A and B are shown apart, each in its own frame.
Chain A
Amino acid sequence: MSGWRMLFYKEVLRFWKVAFQTIAAPVLTSVLYMMIFGHVLEDHVKVYDAVPYTAFLVPGLIMMSVLQNAFANSSSSLVQSKIMGNLVFLLLTPLSHWHWFVAYVGSSMLRGLAVGMGVFAVTVWFAPLQYQAPLWILAFALLGAGLLSAMGLVAGLWSEKFDQMAAFQSFVIMPMTFLSGVFYSIHSLPVFWQKLSHLNPFFYMIDGFRYGFFGQSDVSPWVSLAVVSVAFLAVSILAIQLLKSGYKIRG
């Protein structure tokens, strides 16, 4: 087994050993969102024709869980290892920056997707879903998970304490996900907020993902794919550069 695979395996085992906290809990949170918002808004909000609100909500919630958990995994694993000091075991190995990147991002994607599958498996019983373009579903799930895993890697390298990482999560990741159209279509927003939403890369991930289910979206899925791919590439290059230079991990 070459080195990166062992690191990948270790990182998977790390969250799997506390699966209640890392998988079951976020699934429950999303299900609660769906039950509450679905109940309150089902009869009041109509986003697309022939798509009930709860069905509209489900893909958004799945994607939100994927994104948040992919981010949480790489960032918290790195910060924890830095604070505990056990990152030294990795720093002493011949693993290259590519190996680190693939292992951390890969394992975090897996966690994000596992939570997403969990949310899907539970919520699918509550709403009639369609699957118009499964390839788009897959593409956006993978790209979204990858982007947030890489962002988590950057945040984990940058943070020196849990506090900083929590701030990153609460003040950047949370607002960007909540304001990305998980719970609404941005067409329902005033023009100014619509324009602003177009600057949020999270909007494109949710919108493109939802297109895969309903064949309808706020912008073309190709535009979303381009935006999300560019964002993924940019953040990945940043993360790999930081790893290569040993940013905040090699003095």
Chain B
Amino acid sequence: MPAISFQSVSKTFPAKSAGSQPFKALNNVSFDIAEGEFFGLLGPNGAGKTTLISILAGLTKATDGRVLVHGHDVQKDYAQSRRMLGVVPQELVFDPFFSVREALRFQSGYFGVKKNDAWIDELLTHLGLTDKANANMRQLSGGMKRRVLVAQALVHKPSVIVLDEPTAGVDVELRQTLWQFIANLNREGHTVLLTTHYLEEAEALCGRLAMLKQGRVLALASTSELLKSAASNVLRFKLNGQLPEALASKARITGRIVQFPAKDALDIENYLAAVRQAGLTAEDIEIRKADLEDVFLDVMAEGKV
């Protein structure tokens, strides 16, 4: 039985005002996540990632289709499915009335978990929060609040962990600690579903990926398959001028840095020749392996919905 099963999930938000169109955030999304997987959900802003997670968590209702967590329908059998889910919301929310420890005790209690202080202490230690345990939530920095969100999601020992952009605006050190911690939980058998904008993170952590655009799944495969599907190499150089339009459309351009997907040596020679012919000079030329960002951009460019 899959840990999570999305079955023909669609979501349409009603028109906000007279004259505007209803918004179709998800369009017939179906895929399964097996128990123990580290699964990444990628897509540009507005692709429907958060909507999909909200439906999974019961924060939003699907217009059509259904979602199962270990076989439990998230609507009909919500008490069971929510017990198995630990969700880290994207927004940095907190209750200003209470301390870190109080917040964690409440969250345990809502799930009916009694005398949970040993596990709470363990979570605090792993997330570097021990000396903040009695601090009021208001006194914590953004990064610390993010850690508390993670602890709150794990306080009832869920088998499935859902992280919605957990590292947005988080410093490098916390990102490292957080991923180490989550990767450990995954090794222990927890299923992890992650959305992120940092594609290096997804490449490093996720065994399988789904790429979403405008509410549809455009790609669904293991990370290694997706990487293979891209042109195997990338030609990268700095340029002192503007590429002609015909070339620019094939390239990924970041400021002065230009990158071309290249299958073989001939591709590379051709691109460099074209640059020379345009009267431009390429500097700092290098050839690297294609990464997930290249795949992502390919998929998004091809996947005209």
The residues of A with any CB-CB pair to B shorter than 8 Å are 1-3, 5-7, 9-10, 13-14, 17-18, 81, 84-86, 88-96, 246, 250-251
Q: Which one of A81, A85, A93, A251 lies within 8 Å of B111 (CB-CB)?
A: A93
Also in contact, A250 and B111, with CB within 8 A (given A85-B93, A86-B94, A96-B79): no
Q: List 12 A-B contacts (CB under 8 A).
A: A6-B109, A14-B97, A81-B95, A88-B91, A88-B93, A89-B103, A89-B106, A92-B82, A92-B89, A94-B83, A94-B110, A250-B59
Q: Which one of B59, B105, B106 lies within 8 Å of A92 (CB-CB)?
A: B59
Also in contact, A92 and B87, with CB within 8 A (given A86-B93, A251-B59): yes
Chain B residues within an 8 Å CB radius of A1: 109, 112, 114
Q: Flag whether B31 is at the interface (Cβ < 8 A).
A: no
Q: Which one of B85, B91, B95, B109 lies within 8 Å of A3 (CB-CB)?
A: B109
Q: Which one of A6, A9, A84 lies within 8 Å of B94 (CB-CB)?
A: A84
Query: Nearest A residue to B108 by beta-carbon distance?
Result: A6
Also in contact, A93 and B93, with CB within 8 A (given A251-B54, A251-B61): no
Query: Nearest B residue to A251 by beta-carbon distance?
Result: B60
Query: Nearest B residue to A15 by beta-carbon distance?
Result: B97
Also in contact, A250 and B60, with CB within 8 A (given A10-B106, A89-B152): yes
Within 8 A of A (CB), among B56-70: 57-61
The residues of B with any CB-CB pair to A shorter than 8 Å are 13, 54, 57-61, 78-80, 82-83, 85, 87, 89, 91, 93-98, 102-103, 105-112, 114, 152
A35 smallest CB distance to B (angstroms): 33
Other contacts beyond A6-B108, A93-B107: 19, CB < 8 A: A1-B109, A3-B111, A5-B109, A7-B110, A9-B109, A14-B97, A84-B93, A85-B93, A89-B95, A89-B103, A91-B57, A91-B59, A92-B82, A92-B89, A94-B78, A94-B79, A94-B83, A94-B112, A251-B13
Query: Nearest A residue to B61 by beta-carbon distance?
Result: A250
B109 near A92 (CB under 8 angstroms)? Answer: no
Chain A residues within an 8 Å CB radius of B111: 3, 93-94
Chain A residues within an 8 Å CB radius of B96: 84
A84 near B112 (CB under 8 angstroms)? Answer: no
A6 near B106 (CB under 8 angstroms)? Answer: yes
Q: Which one of A14, A18, A92, A251 lies within 8 Å of B85 (CB-CB)?
A: A92
A58 smallest CB distance to B (angstroms): 33
A88 near B59 (CB under 8 angstroms)? Answer: yes
Chain A residues within an 8 Å CB radius of B82: 92-94
Report Cα–Cα, A90/B169, bound state, in Å.
25
A221 smallest CB distance to B (angstroms): 39
Chain B residues within an 8 Å CB radius of A14: 97
Residue in B59, B96, B103 whose Cβ sees the most chain A Cβ within 10 Å: B59
Report Cα–Cα, A7/B54, bound state, in Å.
22
Report Cα–Cα, A251/B51, bound state, in Å.
10
Report Cα–Cα, A32/B111, bound state, in Å.
44
Q: Which 5 A-B pairs have the closest CB atoms?
A: A6-B109, A85-B93, A94-B79, A93-B110, A251-B60
A77 smallest CB distance to B (angstroms): 10
Report Cα–Cα, A4/B297, bound state, in Å.
47
Chain B residues within an 8 Å CB radius of A93: 82, 107, 110-111
A198 smallest CB distance to B (angstroms): 41
A174 smallest CB distance to B (angstroms): 26
Report Cα–Cα, A53/B277, bound state, in Å.
102
Chain B residues within an 8 Å CB radius of A251: 13, 54, 59-61
B279 smallest CB distance to A (angstroms): 55
Chain A residues within an 8 Å CB radius of B110: 3, 6-7, 89-90, 93-95
Query: Nearest A residue to B77 by beta-carbon distance?
Result: A94
Query: Nearest B residue to A7 by beta-carbon distance?
Result: B110
Report Cα–Cα, A5/B112, bound state, in Å.
9
A20 smallest CB distance to B (angstroms): 14
Report Cα–Cα, A246/B111, bound state, in Å.
19
Query: Nearest A residue to B114 by beta-carbon distance?
Result: A1
